[in-house]
Amino acid sequence: MFKRFRRLRINETLRNLVQETVLTPDDFIYPLFVREGQNIKTEVASMPGVYQMSIDEILKECEYLVSINLKSIILFGIPDTKDSVGSECLCEESIIARTIKAIKAKFPQMFIVTDLCFCEYTDHGHCGILDPKTGSVDNDKTLEISAQQVLVHARAGVDMIAPSGMMDGIITTLRNTLDENGFRNLPIMAYSTKFASGYYGPFRDVAESTPSFGDRRTYQMNPANRLEAIEESLEDEKEGADILMVKPALAFLDIVRDIRNQTNLPLCVYNVSGEYAMLKHAGAHGLIDYERVMMETMIAFKRAGANIIISYHAKEVCKILRNN
């Protein structure tokens, strides 16, 4: 006798009863990009539906997010002034610090994650202090100013830190700094396996963080390396990370599963700008059923082993979940 798999597919209610992987609004973190000024809401041409916003517009956006039960955001800052070391983000009144305080004052229930890096704040677009000899980022000097930046975020009232610069030892540095300054309970979500990927292209438009020379392959991971990817995440776990991440997501689901099989920590994927833009533009040209493909992609992330999804699709997904 052969197995009749179709018995469990004939009825829609039964299909839902036996569905193994489900999505909820609690799975998602939505990226927001804040810049100086007022009444600013500028759509990014390469990423339809994604905006650079001033703080007042960010607050309006948060009001909408709360209405669709989307409770978590990750903040990126776009300063007016940039220099060689990203001084703006080391200031207690940085654009990120002021945004955290404004959101918490109006929406205390909103869970705020902050991206901790320097690429948006430096005039050269790299993720830290440059070493003039190598032309790349000086790892240990960047760790020193990362410790300064994390305290700015912590004192402003952030709920979780997400360091994206891929400096070796960053989790140890941040964990020690937070613990020594009274922030022992502030969690760290490590960009633990972050690849030097072509999928980041549109993000450089919205965050205005394109390197002025070279690329980031000396500190971000080679997409061809599987074992090193696993090692990166396991090392961050040893250093005290509370949540691990794989970025990008779609082309690296094998890595997500590999890491899921080797750790019990919560695992996040970052569904990055290029992945988002491909679906958006394909949908706009009638090449795909956009909503169906979007939801299928989100399911794939969770099926691969992710607990958390950072995605520019998050608003649309949560709206669909609310209406179903």
Question: Which residue in 104, 100, 53, 23 sits closest to 207, CA to CA?
Answer: 53
The pLDDT of 195-206, averaged and rounded, is 79
Q: Does pLDDT of 159 surpass 80?
A: yes
Give the pairing of strands 47-53 and 28-35: parallel
Q: Is 64 annotated as a binding residue?
A: no
247 as an active site residue: the answer is yes
pLDDT band at 33; cut points 50, 70, 90:
very high
Give the whole-angstrom CA distance, residue 124 versus residue 74. 23
Q: Is 268 annotated as a binding residue?
A: no
Provide the token pair at 203.
Answer: 């993000």
Q: Please give the pLDDT value at position 127.
A: 76
Q: Does pLDDT of 77 surpass 80?
A: yes
Q: Is 117 annotated as a binding residue?
A: yes
Q: Does pLDDT of 219 surpass 80?
A: no
pLDDT band at 281; cut points 50, 70, 90:
very high
Q: Does pLDDT of 203 surpass 80?
A: no
Least confident range from 14-18, 44-48, 316-320: namely: 44-48
User: Which pTM was predicted?
Assistant: 0.94
For 238, the enclosing helix (H) or strand (E) is: helix 227-239
Average pLDDT over all residues of the chain: 92
Q: Please give the pLDDT value at position 220.
A: 85
pLDDT band at 124; cut points 50, 70, 90:
confident
251 close to 271: Cβ distance less than 8 angstroms? no
Q: Does pLDDT of 123 surpass 90?
A: no
Give per-residue pLDDT as tens, 221-243: 999 999 999 999 999 999 999 99
Q: Please give the pLDDT value at position 205.
A: 63
Catalytic position from the list 247, 280, 302, 315: 247
Q: Is 54 annotated as a binding residue?
A: no
Query: What one-character-per-residue DSSP string does 169-185 give?
Result: THHHHHHHHHHHTT-TT
252 close to 301: Cβ distance less than 8 angstroms? no
Percent of the chain with pLDDT over 90: 78
The pLDDT of 252-277, averaged and rounded, is 97
The pLDDT of 202-212, averaged and rounded, is 60
Q: Is 51 annotated as a binding residue?
A: no
Catalytic position from the list 41, 101, 133, 194: 194
93 close to 183: Cβ distance less than 8 angstroms? no
194 as an active site residue: the answer is yes
Q: Is 237 annotated as a binding residue?
A: no
Percent of the chain with pLDDT over 70: 95
Question: Which residue in 10, 16, 53, 15 sits closest to 31, CA to CA?
Answer: 53
